Amino acid sequence: MNESLWRVAEKKREKADADARALEISTTMARRIPNLEEETVTDPLTGLLNRRGFLPFVENAIARLKRQGEGGRPVSIIFIDTDDFKSINDRHGHKIGDKVLKEVGRSLKEHVRGADKVSRHGGEEFVVLLEGASEEDAYKKAETLREMVGGLKIKLETQEEPLSFTVSLGVASMSWDDDFDDPETTLIDHANQAMHRAKEEGKNRTVLFSSD
C-alpha cells in the first residue's frame, strides 16, 4: 500500500473510532438524562418530590380548576411542619433526625390518594396537594395525617422508650372564582401561614387559613 492510500485508510479508521466514541457518549448521556431529570425534582432523603418538582403539579391543578369553571371542585394544600425538630436533632443527632423525616414522608405518602402529591418542601416541612378536595375534606385529611404521624415510633439505642413526635398543619383551599396573583404560590403561602398559627396555638394541631 502506498503512502497516500495508507493515509486515506488511517483517516477512515480515525473517523470510525471518533464516531464510535461519540455514539458511546451519546448513548451514555441518553441513559443518564432521565435519572438526572428525576434527581432535580426529587428529594434525595425521602424520595418525595422537592419544591421544584411539586410546584408544576399545583400549577396544573389550578389551571384545570379554572378551565372547569363553576362546576370545578376546589384545590387544597396541607402544609406540615415537624414539631420541635431542632430539639430532636440536638438531642438525638442528625441520623435520628433523618429517620424522623423519612418516616414522616413515607407515612404521608402511604396515607393520601394515589392522585395526591406529597413534597418535602425543605428542612422539616412537607406539603400535600389535594386536587378536588374542599376545605372541609382537606381539614379532615390533615387531622388524619396528624394523628397518624403522632402514632409513629422510632427505636433509639440510647434509651428503652422509642421516640415519638408530632406535626403542626395548616390548610388552605382555592375555589374556581378565587382570583389571586401568582395563585400556586399564594395558595401554598396561605397554608404555610395557617401552619404557623397552629404552632403559635400550641403545636400538634391543624388550623384552617383565615385572612382575618
Instruction: Indicate whether 80 and 173 sit together in one domain.
Output: yes
Owning domain of residue 24: 1-41
Dihedral angle sign, alpha carbons of residues 79, 110, 155, 151: positive
- At residue 70, the pLDDT reads 84
Residues recognised as catalytic: 124
* Count of structural domains within the chain: 2
- At residue 211, the pLDDT reads 82
Question: For the chain, what percent of residues have pLDDT higher than 70?
Answer: 82
pLDDT digits (tens, 9 = 90+) for 139-158: 999 999 999 999 999 998 88
Instruction: Indicate whether 9 and 100 sit together in one domain.
Output: no
Is the predicted pLDDT of residue 15 greater than 90, yes or no?
no
**What H or E segment, with its residue span, contains residue 82?**
strand 75-82
In a domain, 32, yes or no: yes
pLDDT digits (tens, 9 = 90+) for 82-109: 999 999 999 999 999 999 999 999 999 9
In a domain, 100, yes or no: yes
Q: Residue 192 belongs to a domain with what CATH number?
A: 3.30.70.270
Q: Please say whether the beta carbons of 77 and 172 come within 8 A.
A: yes
- At residue 123, the pLDDT reads 93
CA-nearest of 169, 23, 51 to 117 is 51
- At residue 4, the pLDDT reads 64
Query: What's the whole-number average pLDDT of the chain?
Result: 87
- Distances, alpha carbon 205 to alpha carbons 17, 96, 152, 195, in Å: 65, 23, 16, 9
- DSSP letters, 125-148, are EEEEEEET--HHHHHHHHHHHHHH
Instruction: Indicate whether 109 and 88 sit together in one domain.
Output: yes
Question: For the chain, what percent of residues have pLDDT higher than 90?
Answer: 68
Is the predicted pLDDT of residue 124 greater than 90, yes or no?
yes
- At residue 26, the pLDDT reads 47
